[in-house]
Structure 1
Amino acid sequence: MTTTRRTGLREQKKRATRVALREAALGLALERGPDNVRVDDIAEAAGVSPRTYNNYFSSREQAIVAAITAEREARIAAEVAAAPAEDRLADALTDAILTRYTEPGDTERFLITASPPLRDAFLEAATEIEHPLADAIGLRLGDTTTPTARVLAASVAAAVRIALHQWLGATIDRSAGNGGLVIASGSLPDLLRATIAPLAPAIDAAEERSRQARSG
């Protein structure tokens, strides 16, 4: 067996373990409620040790959120990369993000509003979009060597996180017994458009420089 094949099999096993852990975390959270799930329970359900669990996730909240947001980042990047060449990059970015973040399902709404730790994990997960999006932007610009694509991707990730933070923090229910849990409120699509819009001039400028470099 070649080294490349061994490496490939090892990566497949790691991905399978990660999927098993996040699916176990989500299943237990829906069955028992997020606060009644322990890391040891998740590890047991996935057939691994707690030590192995800690190699993949730093908390139960991180694993639960990973199950909810699985594949979202890759799909956004793929849609940006696949957008017609004549489409404005800023529009392609906005459309892909709105498509994947609009109208979260009932499971997502329940879990991300269930507790502050889950909310925080959900917000932190927004940063995961940065690396795949940087690759997609670099391909669109024909520029994978300068920091431009990474800077733009990091800015977009920050804009998404700000929109989500505002969306989740728009209303706080402080009625007796709920601990002041955050309840999602307002229009997430409108918030996403508003936070991404200020980045459009920088994205347009990068796209224009790329166009000039190709024509020159």
Structure 2
Amino acid sequence: MSDSVGLRERKKAATRAALSAAANRLAIEHGVDHVTVEAIAAAADVSPRTFHNYFSSREEAIVAGVVDWANALTDKLRDRPADEPIWDALLAVLLDSVDDRPEAKARWKAQSEMIMANPSVVASQLAALDGMRRRVAEVVAERTGTDPDRDLYPRLTGGSAAQALKAALDLWISGKTDRGIKELIVEAFELLRAGLPEPSQSR
């Protein structure tokens, strides 16, 4: 029984991933306004009805990859050694989850430009990122003995980590630095852990 359940879950995950990848690719290639649920379903070789079993809208499908990546990240965070300092654990899972290759940077850039050009997709992405912050806060609370519904620490930690990642990604894909995403994430975490000291004014 467990084997059959596991197989069904893997098939469902594969279908969801295929739909999300198709939605993202079509949105980048043709623009969100020219992408339909029917086109996404056809590209993933499923029916529009199957699409609606997984997503309520094309926008939700487009950003689903971010949601799934964030969910996998928090699962990895739960698997880190219990006695590992929380900021060390967060940094480790982030560095293990990002791709520093040029082709990955090109994909991030294309996706970011597509999202920013479409307010409806921006809203879906913001909702996805907020979900990521909540999930990270829950894991931080578990690891630190705090309560995400009552204490600031897990909320601040989750939000700060998510913002550090976003700031590093935004700078990386801007093309205005030749530094890699992992190097930028490490620096972002170092600055946070140091309390964001004001940069030196020396020139």
Are residues 1:140 and 2:165 paired? no
Show the counterpart of 1:79.
76
Show the counterpart of 1:7.
none
Query: How far apart are residue 86 of structure 1 and its match?
Result: 2.4
Match of 1:198 among 181, 186, 191: 191
Query: How far apart are residue 166 of structure 1 and its match?
Result: 0.5
Q: Which amino acid aligns with 1:47?
A: S
Cα separation, 2, equivalents of 1:158 and 1:19: 25
Contact preservation (8 Å) 1:143, 1:149: yes
Query: CA, structure 1 residues 47+20, in 2 after alignment: closer, same or farther (shift >3 Å)?
Result: farther
Show the counterpart of 1:155.
160
Show the counterpart of 2:107.
111
TM-score (norm 1): 0.60
Gaps spanning 5+ residues in structure 2: where?
1-11, 196-203
Query: How far apart are residue 73 of structure 1 and its match?
Result: 1.2
Query: CA, structure 1 residues 138+28, in 2 after alignment: closer, same or farther (shift >3 Å)?
Result: same
Cα separation, 1, equivalents of 2:27 and 2:106: 10
Count residues with an aligned counterpart.
174
Query: CA, structure 1 residues 57+119, in 2 after alignment: closer, same or farther (shift >3 Å)?
Result: same
Deviates more, 1:79-88 or 1:91-100: 79-88
Query: CA, structure 1 residues 117+141, in 2 after alignment: closer, same or farther (shift >3 Å)?
Result: same
| Structure with the greater alpha carbon radius of gyration | 1
Q: Which amino acid aligns with 1:25?
A: A
Are residues 1:167 and 2:172 paired? yes
- RMSD over aligned CA atoms reads 4.0
Cα separation, 1, equivalents of 2:68 and 2:102: 15
Contact preservation (8 Å) 2:77, 2:139: yes
Gaps spanning 5+ residues in structure 1: where?
1-13, 172-183, 203-216
Percent identity for Structure 1 against Structure 2 = 22
Show the counterpart of 2:181.
188
Cα separation, 2, equivalents of 1:66 and 1:34: 18
Match of 1:63 among 61, 64, 67: 61
Cα separation, 1, equivalents of 2:64 and 2:155: 23
Q: Which amino acid aligns with 2:189?
A: I
> Which digits, 9 at most, give the CA deviation of each residue in 1:3-26, with x for residues without a partner?
xxxxxxxxxxx9898656414314
TM-score (norm 2): 0.64
Cα separation, 1, equivalents of 2:138 and 2:166: 19
Cα separation, 2, equivalents of 1:136 and 1:146: 14
